[in-house]
Amino acid sequence: MKDMLPETLEEKIDRLIATIARLAPREPEATDLAAADCFVWSAEAGRLEPVHRVNRVEIALIRGVDRVRDILDDNTRRFAAGLPANNALLWGARGMGKSSLVKAVHAAINRDLAEGEPPLKLIEIHREDIDTLPKLLSILKSAPFRFVLFCDDLSFDHDDTSYKSLKAALEGGVEGRPDNVIFYATSNRRHLLPRDMIDNERSTAINPGEAVEEKVSLSDRFGLWLGFHKCSQDEYLEMIDGYVRHYGLETDPEALRSEALEWATTRGSRSGRVAWQFVQDLAGRMGRRLDA
């Protein structure tokens, strides 16, 4: 008989609250930062996703960028040891190992750690999630680890204002960058902004100098500017020789040189990426696997 009675207002409110609670997104689970040495920031879920197998190459196989390799390695080791270090912008030619170098340096440092030392953590944040950087930093600042925050292929287009969030998070905000976080980014653009965007600001602003200054000041937040330039033919061949020796691919040196140069010619460029693509093709034709 009771079931046939109309609901009271209080019962309707309770049922509405229960329905809303089921529809509301759950609080993200806390990430176990000891579960892996590398993570990807999932902005939508508000959590860090562990990466147990990182796509990277040995640091010894990255050729033609010896000077910037040593600078980045030294900067990162100082940071891992708790010493002062700079944010780094790796900019320049495509395929010359910018992102590979960041991942290789991270692996080399962790491999050299003394027993009992906490590992350095690498966290990748996607370009489109830069505006959630403050949220990520709030998670990391109280963690008992040191973090290299890495954004690959970072750049900003017209009418994109998310670069302001990055500026504030790196150096300009009230709280600033946490002591246990350093930011590394790769880009094809030295100032992260399109050249025509900077030129347009200069030509249309009342005070051109101030307009351009506001735009390029983002790159000034990076204490290290490491330039990657197109490699020479000798450097390109040296990269291939390094891969061939590392993976034990036995082939005639003259034939290897001829095929490698032809490969680069058909692609219209020489770079570390082109060298790796040639080695993959070579190994496939030889019926060999490229296991680390």
Percent of the chain with pLDDT over 70: 81
User: Please, what sign has the CA dihedral across residues 268, 274, 278, 280?
Assistant: negative
> pTM, whole model, 2 decimals?
0.79
Least confident span in 120-124, 172-176, 212-216, 266-270: 212-216
Q: Rounded CA gap, 111 and 106, in Å?
A: 9
Residue pair 85/109 in contact by the 8 Å Cβ criterion: no
For residue 81, pLDDT beyond 90: yes
For residue 207, pLDDT beyond 70: no
Residue pair 229/96 in contact by the 8 Å Cβ criterion: yes
Give the number of other Cβ atoms within 10 Å of residue 3's Cβ. Answer: 4
In the predicted model, what is the mean pLDDT of residues 60-73?
92
Between 121 and 160, whose confidence is greater? 121
Residue pair 93/229 in contact by the 8 Å Cβ criterion: yes
In the predicted model, what is the mean pLDDT of residues 217-240?
88
- Average pLDDT over the chain, rounded to whole? 84
Percent of the chain with pLDDT over 90: 50
pLDDT at 219: 74
Between 173 and 119, whose confidence is greater? 119
Give the number of other Cβ atoms within 10 Å of residue 14's Cβ. Answer: 12
In the predicted model, what is the mean pLDDT of residues 54-74?
91
Structure-token match 């061949």, residue found: 237
What are 249's two structure tokens? 């691919």
pLDDT at 105: 97
Q: Which of 290, 193, 228 is nearest to 99 (CA)?
A: 228
pLDDT at 204: 45
Q: Which residues fall within 8 angstroms of residue 86, CB to CB, at 6 or more apart?
A: 75, 182, 222, 223, 224
pLDDT at 174: 62
The listed range with the strongest mean pLDDT (24-38, 98-112, 220-234) is 98-112
pLDDT at 206: 43
Q: Which of 91, 154, 109, 99 is nearest to 276 (CA)?
A: 99
| 47-50 vs 147-151, strand pairing mode | unpaired
Q: Rounded CA gap, 223 and 200, in Å?
A: 26
Residue pair 137/169 in contact by the 8 Å Cβ criterion: yes
Q: Rounded CA gap, 266 and 242, in Å?
A: 22
pLDDT at 216: 64
Give the number of other Cβ atoms within 10 Å of residue 100's Cβ. Answer: 22
Q: Which of 40, 59, 41, 140 is nearest to 105 (CA)?
A: 59
pLDDT at 202: 46
Q: Which of 106, 98, 185 is nearest to 146 (CA)?
A: 106
In the predicted model, what is the mean pLDDT of residues 264-291?
92
